[in-house]
Amino acid sequence: MGRSVADLRASGEDAGRAVEDVLEDHSLTLAVTKTVAISLLLPADSPRSGGESAEHVRMLAESDAELPPIVVHRPTMRVIDGMHRLRAAALRGDTGIEARLYDGTPEDAFVFAVRLNTSHGLPLSAQERSRAAARIMTTHPQWSDRRIALVAGLSAKTVGAIRRRRAGELPQPLTRIGHDGRARPVNGAAGRRRAAEVLAEKPGASLREVAELAGVSPGTVRDVRDRLRRGDDPVPTGRRTGGGGRTAGAPPGWGGDAPGSTVRRDVPRRTLQRDYESILRTLRKDPSLRFTEAGRNVLRLLDTRALFVEEQEGLISGLPGHCMPMLSDAARECANAWIEFAKRLDRLERAQYPQARTRAALREPGAAFEERPVAG
């Protein structure tokens, strides 16, 4: 069915707005237009499989609506968006047409064309959008499913299904880049295991350095480091791939005799099963601590820490924002002081009780992992 002049004028306005939206999305500097000779332009590398609609071209040519600028890839002079407008201008007898010139790569130009064609004008069919998504993941394999879906006008689930069907043909990067520009690991568990390996190889590296090497966030590295120091698996239970024995890809020494086990083979199970509160209860009952000044002082300090864990949410919500940076620094210094205190205890324990060396080594950052039988 034909479209009215009013519809065509509205379509032209939509095209202009769509270009502005995509310019903003992609940070492209195409605000300036110039008149380009029609004879210099090449047909679009278009996601449309059926070419242009002759009826749509004729109605554009016969309307009195001003045609919005087309978009042209400057290096090749190939039309990115606006073939119907170009055909209509030629049908009117024009020799030139207003155009925005784009200087990106041909691959990015195709992405730009898809984004524009899904934002305005004659809609792409579902098959055309799926073919466009498949092509984009070939030229931009590092892009996330959601980012490609946003460009192609599909759901992320559909893009994921296309990627799985073509898994053998596509590169498999360890991380993918989302629409926000942030890189995220394809497999969160694999990223955590890589972080554990980097921490073992480079114990002196900063959180940010490890994060960059492992392809995860600094916050994830901090959590992995803390889990390693506690003797836990670097991958939380709910994120593991399952399977018998050691978690797939985990450093040697991880995994117990059951699927998804968090037991370190070089650490007695009873040590891992004790939580902080039960340890503290045991210490309070020890006369050698209760009846010495140094023991009582340490117990009082540990009691303060236990109360803080229970109440920290309420404390944080009531703190003024301008004090948070200094409070964070102070808390971090307190934590570092406790870590140093624990290291000194470990060193003393190793010197006095050689059989405790393995357990103490667990708490040292970057300690080597050894394969040992599970303590029964």
**Of the candidate ranges 71-75, 96-100, 337-341, the one whose mean pLDDT is the lowest:** 337-341
pLDDT score of 289:
80
pLDDT score of 319:
79
- Cα–Cα distance measured from residue 206 to residue 222, given in angstroms and rounded to the nearest whole number: 10
3-state secondary structure of 176: strand
* Predicted model pTM: 0.49
> What is the number of other CB atoms lying within 10 angstroms of the CB of residue 273?
9
pLDDT confidence band for 158 (50 / 70 / 90): very high
- Cα–Cα distance measured from residue 209 to residue 197, given in angstroms and rounded to the nearest whole number: 13
**pLDDT per position as a tens digit, 246-287:** 444 444 444 433 333 433 444 443 343 346 777 777 788 777
Average pLDDT on 69-95 reads: 92
pLDDT score of 309:
56
pLDDT score of 326:
82
pLDDT score of 47:
87
pLDDT score of 263:
39
pLDDT at residue 210 is higher than 60? yes
pLDDT score of 87:
93
Cβ-proximal residues to 321 (8 Å cutoff; 6+ apart), any chain:
none
pLDDT at residue 184 is higher than 60? yes
Cβ-proximal residues to 11 (8 Å cutoff; 6+ apart), any chain:
3, 120, 121
Average pLDDT on 340-352 reads: 80
CA atoms within 13 A on the CB side of 96: 8
Percentage of the chain lying above the pLDDT 70 cut: 72
pLDDT score of 307:
56
**pLDDT per position as a tens digit, 283-299:** 887 777 877 888 888 88
- Distance between the two ends of the chain, CA-based, in angstroms? 79
